[in-house]
Structure 1
Amino acid sequence: MAWIFLIAAGVLEVVWAYFMKRSEGFTLLWPTIITLVVMAASFALLSISMKTLPLGTAYTIWTGIGAVGAFMVGIVILGESVTPMRLVAGALILAGLVMMKLSSPH
């Protein structure tokens, strides 16, 4: 169950990062509110997952899902640039996440 909470927390991290971008520096009300609410939910789920998962594993997976997810949202939704080096960097982060999961005792 901890892994489900952790994955959900990571997905919510992507959501709040997107809405933070949309808030234009917290100057737009609704994107700011969505950012803060989803951020709190993401932290809460991360905290629940950390009851049983090791800190290093949980935090690394959470930030990694956020990083790779935000990278993909940036490309697909926001039209950010796609370069070979950016794709390799994203793939390396993803490989690190897989290795972290495989090496986790839980």
Structure 2
Amino acid sequence: MGWVYLSVAIGFEIAGTTAMKLSDGMTRLWPALAVVLCYSVSFTLLAWALRSLEVGVAYAVWSAVGTMAIAAIGILVFGEGVGTMKLLGLALIVAGVVSLRLAGPGA
């Protein structure tokens, strides 16, 4: 169940961060409320996931997938720039998470 909780937590983290962008510095009520709700749910589910997952791996996956998804949303939805360094940075994040996952429990 830990991976299920983590996956849903990541979805809420992505939604919360997107809402944060839409909140215009937390000055727009509905997006600001969505930020609070989404992050509350995300952290609760992350805590539940940590009952059965290693904290280092779970947090790395949570933050890496969220970072990659938000970078993609920034590019595709908000028209943010994409360049070689941004793509290299995202690739390094993926490599780090994969190496943590391959290390296995207790490594």
- TM-score w.r.t. length of structure 1: 0.91
Query: How far apart are 1:88 and its partner, in Å?
Result: 1.1
Deviations 1:27-62 (A, max 9, x none): 100000111111111001100000011111111111
Partner residue, 1:56: 56
Which residue number corresponds to residue 26 of structure 2?
26
Deviations 1:53-89 (A, max 9, x none): 1111111111111111111111111111010111111
State the alpha-carbon separation in 1 of the partners of residues 100 and 66 from structure 2.
15
Moved over 4 A (4+): none
Kindly tell me the number of residue pairs found equivalent between the two proteins: 106
Task: Indicate conservation of the 8 Å contact 2:57/2:97, yes or no.
Answer: no
The TM-score normalised by the length of structure 2 is 0.91
Q: Percent identity?
A: 36
Matching of residues 1-106 of structure 1 within 5 Å: 1-105=1-105
Q: Which runs of 5+ in 2 are unaligned?
A: none
Unaligned ranges ≥5, structure 1: none
**Residue type matched to 1:59 in 2?**
Y
Cα RMSD after superposing both structures:
1.4
